[in-house]
Structure 1
Amino acid sequence: MRSFNIFCTVFLVFSIQVVLAQHSVKGAYYGEEFAISEKVNEGKAIYTGLTAKDSLQTQLSGEIREVCQAKGCWMKVEIAPQEEVFVRFKDYGFFVPKDAADKKVFMQGVAFLEEMSVDDQRHYAKDSGASEEEINQIKEPKRILRFEAEGVLIKD
């Protein structure tokens, strides 16, 4: 009986810590809710050593720089000065607000590298409101940092 009481006490303390960690960042969840890890990744270091065939399940944070103005179906997140990651949402299962630019974001999902085709780059440029002239200047595939988010927390 004593070990059961100790187990319950430890479980209760752990549960309270998880709840407090989840609520220490106030904001709105999109997709799956998740507890923010103390070791959430910031910066490009998470992509160091990845090849185009690798992926890494992780959490990543940064500042939203741009959101799809058609539906909110993708976003670009600055993870370090002059370094952005292109984020889409798992199974096209959720979107983020189109006015979320300049907000802090925490994401849980899969980090990977991708070579984006000219057609895809032009499609996303059109979604972001680029001019026809800017779209026509896209002429080569581009290797980009990618993230497929299972869940997103946009900080208030």
Structure 2
Amino acid sequence: MKTFAALVVMLFVAININAQPPEVPAEKGTVFGAKTTADDAITVEQLAAVMKSREGKKTEVKIRGTVTTVCEAMGCWIKIKSADGDLMVRMKDHAFFVPLALNGKEVIVDGIAEEKTTSVAQLKHYAEDANKSKEEIDAIKEAKKELTITAKGVLVI
């Protein structure tokens, strides 16, 4: 039994060490995570107004936007184009990942929006995931208060 348990642990570690974004197409109609539709989706600009009226409290939302960046390490986060700087979208509990092919695609993100302060360490981690240069990573010196979404599902439209 100990041998079996040790094998399971080693397999889990090996899978996590070699984690990469899935190499699947990001074609129209493809869903990553929980199934969702485009019904009642709002724009990123509308989301800012909704969050302001809710005083930044957690709010269930469905937004429509264009992906500008995908986490190159695992596909565990994306950024959506916004007039105020790109909107960070994290995949809920790392339960699903998205492919690099999602970059530039228009998507519907179904999830929970909230205002958060992202630490310097976390911002540097995201920069590393995005393969930013050492200089760009070292330039991150301050935490950032930002609107983020924890996605349950992502639909390519």
TM-score (norm 1): 0.76
2:52 aligned with 1:48: yes
Per the TM alignment, residue 84 of structure 1 is displaced from its structure 2 partner at its CA by 2.1
> Cα distance, 1:82 vs. partner?
4.2
User: 1:77-92 alignment to 2 at 5 Å?
Assistant: 77-78=80-81, 80-92=82-94
**How much is the aligned-residue C-alpha RMSD, in angstroms?**
1.5
SS at match of 2:149: strand
CA-CA distance at 1:51 after TM superposition: 4.0
Measured after TM superposition, the shift of residue 99 of structure 1 is 2.3
Determine which structure has the larger strand proportion and give its number.
Answer: 1
> What is the SS of the residue equivalent to 1:123?
helix
CA distance in 2, matches of 1:120, 1:51: 24
Q: Which segments of 5 or more consecutive residues in structure 1 lack a partner in the other structure?
A: 1-25
Work out the CA distance in 2 between the residues paired with 1:140 and 1:83. Answer: 16
What do residues 21-45 of structure 1 show as CA deviations (whole Å, max 9, x unaligned)? xxxxx421000112322x3110232
Question: Cα deviation per residue 1:72-122 (whole Å; 9 max; x = unaligned)?
Answer: 1100011x4344210011121000111211100101110111100000000
Report sequence identity in percent: 34
8 Å Cα contact 2:37-2:108 kept in structure 1: no
Partner of 1:76: 79
**Which residue is 1:66 aligned to?**
69
Change in Cα spacing, 1:84 to 1:46, as seen in structure 2 (3 Å) is: farther
Q: Which structure has the greater CA radius of gyration?
A: 1
Aligned residue pairs total 127
What TM-score do the two structures reach when normalised by structure 2? 0.75
Q: CA deviation at 1:50?
A: 4.2
Alignment-derived partner of residue 148 in structure 1: 150
Match for residue 138 of structure 2? 136
